[in-house]
């Protein structure tokens, strides 16, 4: 028993002193040119990657629209799940982010690059989407081909599987 206790204390001491840092995946600012849109009535939002501004209500799917902020811890926690979903279903579902309540577009760009985001991001500088998506973040909507919101998720996704199940059920992905 003393050997096991001693081994446990040694193992605990060794792991407590290690400096394992999380692996950082480099993100990229992506153009919004491939987002499927039709005419909408909402306020056009600038795209981080340049190009034409896009109103959130003009997005046609199948699409996943995720409203988030760099300052939002639950938003940061769901990023890996969104990235894994995109990696698996990018040929079936467009992923679009909307950054809200941000001090500057440059701050969002840096966050995108340092947090592994690799999908188009719209920038809501004025809070124009509050009336549509509400006040809290994260908020995720699934939108079908006609632009109809078929699913609303308030709060973070806890797993990639949770996103997949919603996309299978509401968007018919396979």
pLDDT in tens, 19-38: 333 344 678 999 999 999 99
Angle of helix 160-171 versus helix 73-89 axis, rounded to 10? 60
Q: Give bridge partners of residue 54 from the DSSP assignment.
A: 45
Element (H, E) at 119: none
pLDDT tens by residue, 93-144: 999 999 999 999 999 999 999 999 999 999 998 888 988 888 789 999 999 9
DSSP three-state, residue 40: coil
* Separation CA 127–CA 37 (nearest Å): 21
Question: For residues 70 and 112, what is the distance between their CA atoms, to the nearest angstrom?
Answer: 9
Local confidence band at 8 (pLDDT 50, 70, 90 cut-offs): very low
Q: How many CA atoms lie within 13 A of 112 on its CB side?
A: 25
pLDDT of residue 15: 38
pLDDT at 39 over 90: no
The domain ranges of the chain are: 25-171
Does the reported pTM lie above 0.85?
A: no
The reported pLDDT for the residue numbered 25 is: 60
Task: State the Cα–Cα distance between residues 92 and 31, nearest whole angstrom.
Answer: 18
The fourth-level CATH superfamily of domain 25-171 is Glutaredoxin (3.40.30.10)
How far apart are alpha carbons 113 and 70 in whole angstroms?
Answer: 12
Q: CA 151, CA 74: separation in Å to the nearest integer?
A: 19
Nearest of 22, 167, 7 to residue 93 by alpha carbon: 167
């Amino acid at each position: 028993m003393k050997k096991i206790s001693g081994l446990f204390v040694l193992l605990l001491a060794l792991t407590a002193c290690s400096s394992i840092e999380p692996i950082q995946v480099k993100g990229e600012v992506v153009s919004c040119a491939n987002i499927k849109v039709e005419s909408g009535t909402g306020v056009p939002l600038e795209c981080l990657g340049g190009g034409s501004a896009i109103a959130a209500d003009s997005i046609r799917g199948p699409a996943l629209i995720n409203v988030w902020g760099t300052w939002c811890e639950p938003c940061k926690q769901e990023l890996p799940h969104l990235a894994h979903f995109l990696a698996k279903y990018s040929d079936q579902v467009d992923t679009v982010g909307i950054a809200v309540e941000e001090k500057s577009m440059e701050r969002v760009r840096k966050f995108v690059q340092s947090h592994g985001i690799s999908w188009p991001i719209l920038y809501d500088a004025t809070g124009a989407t509050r009336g549509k998506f509400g006040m809290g973040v994260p908020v995720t909507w699934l939108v079908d081909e006609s632009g109809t919101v078929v699913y609303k998720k308030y709060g973070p996704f806890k797993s990639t599987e949770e996103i997949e199940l919603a996309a299978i059920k509401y968007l018919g992905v396979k």
